Structure 1
Amino acid sequence: MKAAVLKSFGSPLAIEDVPDPVLGTGEVIVDVVATRVLSYSKEVFSGERKYALDLPAVPGAGGVGRVRAIGPDSTKLSVGDWVLCDPTVRSRDDAIAPDIHLQGVSSRGEGGMRLQKYFHDGSFAQRMRVPTENVTRLGEISEEEATQWCALGTLLVPYGGFLAAKLQPGETVLVSGATGNFGSAAVAVALAMGAACVVAPGRNEKMLAELVRRHGARVRPVKLTGNENDDRELMKRAAAGPIDCAFDIMPPSVSTTVVRAAIMTVRSNGRIVLMGGVNMQGGPGLELPYNWIMRECITIHGVWMYPPDAAVRLIALVRAGLLRLDHFETTSFDLDHANEAVDYAAANAGAFNMTVIKP
C-alpha cells in the first residue's frame, strides 16, 4: 500500500509503498478515506515540538474510513462499515491509569513508547491497523461526507475537557484561546452541550465577530488589551453571570499571564480545565495563587484527550443536530501531496479551517 513516511525529523515525508498492516486479535484494519492534518504537524515533523515519535513512522492522527477486516472479538462491526478511528491508544492492563500513545503522533512515558512499538503507524496511508475499541461506527455517510466527519477529531479534544468538568446545561463557560482551531471548536462544543453563554476572549476582532456570526448572541466576545488585571475584569463583565467553567487550550507560544487572566475569572466553587500547551517547550510554568484556589474552592482538571466513550457521545450530538460539522471549511489533498498538505495546514491554522488528506 502507499503511505507517507517520516524517516527523520526535519526531512520531508517520503511517499512510498510499505507493507500492508496485518490483522491481529483485538484489532481492526481500516481503509482510510480521509484524515485531518493537525495544524501543528509541521512543528512535530521538524522536531521543534520534540514529540516522542519513534522513526521511521507513518504519521497521522486517526481519521474516517471503512472497515476492511475485523478480529474474532468484534461482534458489532462489519466489513464496509463507515467508522471513526480514534488515535488515543490505551494500554489494556490497567483500567484506572492506562498508558497512552497517540497513534501516529506521540507517546507519554515508557509505557506509551512500548504501545507505540506495536501500534506504530498512523493514518497518512491507504490502510491502518487500530485497536478494536478505537473504532466507532458513524452510520451511513457518503465518501464526500467523510472529509467533513474528520472534524470529529478536533471537536473531541475540547469535548473531553468539558466532560471532565461535568459541564451542565445553562452554565456559563469561558474559552481561553477561542479564536484558534481547537478553541473555536470548544466554543461550538460548549454550546452544543447546552452552555447558556460562552465568553470568547481574543485579540483578533475579525475572528471574534465571526464566532458571534456563526453561533449567535450566546457568544460574548472580549477584545483583550494585554493587561492581565484589566482583561480579567473585561471577561467577567462580558459574562451573563458568574463564570462556572474556564477552559484553556492556548498554544505553547502564549504567555502564562494571558492564560492566568482567563482562568482566574471563575466563580467560587468553579472549575478550570487545562488542555493547552503552557510550558510544553520550556519557560515558566503557570503560577496560580494557592490561597485563591483553597479559599474559593476551585477545582482544576488537567485533561489530555478524552474518555474512551467520548466519540459515541459526540457522534450522537452531531446526529441530533446539536453540533454542526459544516462550520469547518475543508481543503483536501491526495496522499502524493502530503507535504503540501502539511505546509497548508501550518499556514491556515486558524478557527474553522481543516486540512485533510484523502489517501
Structure 2
Amino acid sequence: MQAAILERFGQPLSITEAPDPQVGTGEIVVDVLAAPVLPYAAEVFSGERNYSLEPPVIPGAGGVGRVRAVGPDSTRLAVGDIVWCDSTVRSRDDAVTPDITLQGLTARGDGGLRLARHFHHGSFAERMAVPTENATPLGPVPPAEAYRWVSLGVHLVPYGGLRAGGLRPGETVLISGATGNFGSAGVAVAVAMGARRVVAPGRNEAVLAQLRQRFGDRVAPVPLTGDPAADDAAVRAAAGAPIDLVLDLLSPAAPASAARAAAMTVREHGRVVLMGGVGDELRLPYPWLMHNSVTVRGQWMYPRVAVRELVGLVHAGLLDLSRNEVTTFPLDAARQAVEHAAAHAAPFQRTAITP
C-alpha cells in the first residue's frame, strides 16, 4: 500500500510503499477514506511539540474508513461498513486507569508508549489497523462524502469536556478559548447539547462575530480588552444568568491568568473543566473553591461511548458538520496537506487527506 511516512523529525514526509496491515484478534483493518490533518501537524513532525511519536511512523490521528477485514472476535462490524476510527487507544488490562496512546500522534507515559509501539501507524495511508472497539459505525455515509466527517475529531474533544462537566439542557456555559480551533467547536457542541446560552470570550472579534452569525442569539460573544475588572463584568453581563459550567480550551500560548479569570466566573456549586494547554499554575483560591463548593476537574480526551453519542447528535441534525469548510488532498500530496493545514488553522477550516 502507499503511505506517507515520517522517517525522522524535521524531515518532510516520504510518500512510499509500506506493508499492508494484518488483521488480528481485537483488531480490524480499514481502507482509509479521509484522514484529518491537524493544524499543528507540522509542529509535531518537526519535533517542536516534543510529542511521544517514534519515527519511522505513518502519522495521522484517526479518520473515516471502510471496513476491509475484521478479527475473529468481532460480532457486529461487517466488511464494507463506514466507520469513524477513533485515535484514542486504551490498554485493555486496566479498566480503571488504562494507558492511553493517540494512534499516529502521541502517547501518555511509558505504558502509552508501549501501546503505541503496537498500534504504531496512523491514517496517512491507504489502509490502517485499529482496535475493534475504536471503530464506530457512521451509518449510510456515501464514501465520496466521507471527508465531511473529518471534523468529528475536532468536536469530540470539547464534547468530552462538556460531557465530563455534566452540561444539561438550559444551562449557561462559558467556553474559555472560544475563538480557537477546539474552542469554536466547543461553542458548536454546547449549542447542540442544548445550552441556553454559550458565553464566548476572546480577542479575535472577527471570529466572535462569525460565531454569533453561525449559531444565533444563544451565543454571547465577549470581546476581551485586557482589563480584568472590565472583562469580568462584560462576561457576567453577557451571560445574563449565573454561569453553570466553564470549559477551558485555551492554547499553550495563553497565560494562566486568562484561564483563572474564566474559571472564577462560575456560580456557586458550578463546575470547571480544564482541557486546554496552559502550562503555568492555575492557582485558584482555596477559600473561593471551598466556600462556593466549586468542582474543578481535568479531562483529557473523552470516553469511548462519546463517539457514538456525538455521531447521534450529527444524525439528529443538532450538530451540523457541513458548517466546516474541508479542503482535501490526495495521499501523494500529504506534504502539501500539512502545509495547508498550518496556513488555514482558522475555526471551521479543516484539512483532510483522502487516500
Quick check: TM above 0.5?
Answer: yes
- Among 281, 288, 291, the alignment partner of 2:287 is 291
Name the counterpart of 1:306.
Answer: 302
Question: Which one-letter code corresponds to 1:351 in the other structure?
Answer: P
Question: Which one-letter code corresponds to 2:119 in the other structure?
Answer: F
Give, in whole Å, the separation in 2 of the partners of 1:272 and 1:209: 25
Residues 252-261 or 64-73, more deviating: 252-261
Question: Which one-letter code corresponds to 2:283 in the other structure?
Answer: E
Name the counterpart of 1:192.
Answer: 192
Q: TM-score, normalised by structure 1?
A: 0.97
Question: Which one-letter code corresponds to 2:212 in the other structure?
Answer: V
Name the counterpart of 1:109.
Answer: 109
Using the TM superposition, give the Cα deviation of residue 46 of structure 1 relative to its aligned residue in structure 2, in angstroms: 1.0
Give CA deviations for 1:26-77 in whole Å, capped at 9, x if unaligned: 0000100001111111111111111111111111010001000001111111
Name the counterpart of 1:34.
Answer: 34
Question: Which one-letter code corresponds to 1:64 in the other structure?
Answer: V
Name the counterpart of 1:164.
Answer: 164
Identical residues among aligned pairs (%): 59
Q: TM-score, normalised by structure 2?
A: 0.98
Q: Map 1:196-345; keep pairs closer than 5 Å.
A: 196-279=196-279, 284-345=280-341
Give CA deviations for 1:68-101 in whole Å, capped at 9, x if unaligned: 0001111111100000000000000111110000
Give, in whole Å, the separation in 2 of the partners of 1:125 and 1:222: 42
Using the TM superposition, give the Cα deviation of residue 145 of structure 1 relative to its aligned residue in structure 2, in angstroms: 1.6
Give, in whole Å, the separation in 2 of the partners of 1:226 and 1:16: 50
Using the TM superposition, give the Cα deviation of residue 275 of structure 1 relative to its aligned residue in structure 2, in angstroms: 0.7
Using the TM superposition, give the Cα deviation of residue 263 of structure 1 relative to its aligned residue in structure 2, in angstroms: 1.6
Give, in whole Å, the separation in 1 of the partners of 2:263 and 2:342: 27
Q: Which runs of no fewer than 5 residues in structure 1 stay unpaired? A: none
Name the counterpart of 2:6.
Answer: 6
Using the TM superposition, give the Cα deviation of residue 200 of structure 1 relative to its aligned residue in structure 2, in angstroms: 0.4
Using the TM superposition, give the Cα deviation of residue 285 of structure 1 relative to its aligned residue in structure 2, in angstroms: 2.2
Residues 232-241 or 119-128, more deviating: 232-241
- Match of 2:317, SS state, is coil
- Match of 1:38, SS state, is coil
Give, in whole Å, the separation in 2 of the partners of 1:120 and 1:338: 19
Give, in whole Å, the separation in 2 of the partners of 1:344 and 1:258: 30
- Match of 1:150, SS state, is helix
Give, in whole Å, the separation in 2 of the partners of 1:233 and 1:287: 21
Name the counterpart of 2:151.
Answer: 151
Give CA deviations for 1:253-293 in whole Å, capped at 9, x if unaligned: 111112211121100111111111111xxxx3222111111
RMSD: 0.9
**Contact map agreement 1:273 1:302 (CA 8 A) in 2:** yes
Q: Aligned pair count?
A: 355
Using the TM superposition, give the Cα deviation of residue 144 of structure 1 relative to its aligned residue in structure 2, in angstroms: 2.6
Q: Which runs of no fewer than 5 residues in structure 2 stay unpaired? A: none
Using the TM superposition, give the Cα deviation of residue 330 of structure 1 relative to its aligned residue in structure 2, in angstroms: 0.7
- Among 344, 348, 353, the alignment partner of 2:349 is 353
Using the TM superposition, give the Cα deviation of residue 194 of structure 1 relative to its aligned residue in structure 2, in angstroms: 0.6
Give, in whole Å, the separation in 1 of the partners of 2:54 and 2:289: 39
- Match of 1:356, SS state, is strand
Give, in whole Å, the separation in 2 of the partners of 1:140 and 1:184: 28
Give, in whole Å, the separation in 2 of the partners of 1:111 and 1:252: 25
**Contact map agreement 1:229 1:261 (CA 8 A) in 2:** no
**Contact map agreement 1:232 1:265 (CA 8 A) in 2:** yes
**Contact map agreement 1:173 1:245 (CA 8 A) in 2:** yes
**Contact map agreement 1:148 1:325 (CA 8 A) in 2:** yes
- Match of 1:338, SS state, is helix
| Residue 100 (1) aligns with residue 96 (2) | no
Give, in whole Å, the separation in 1 of the partners of 2:294 and 2:240: 20
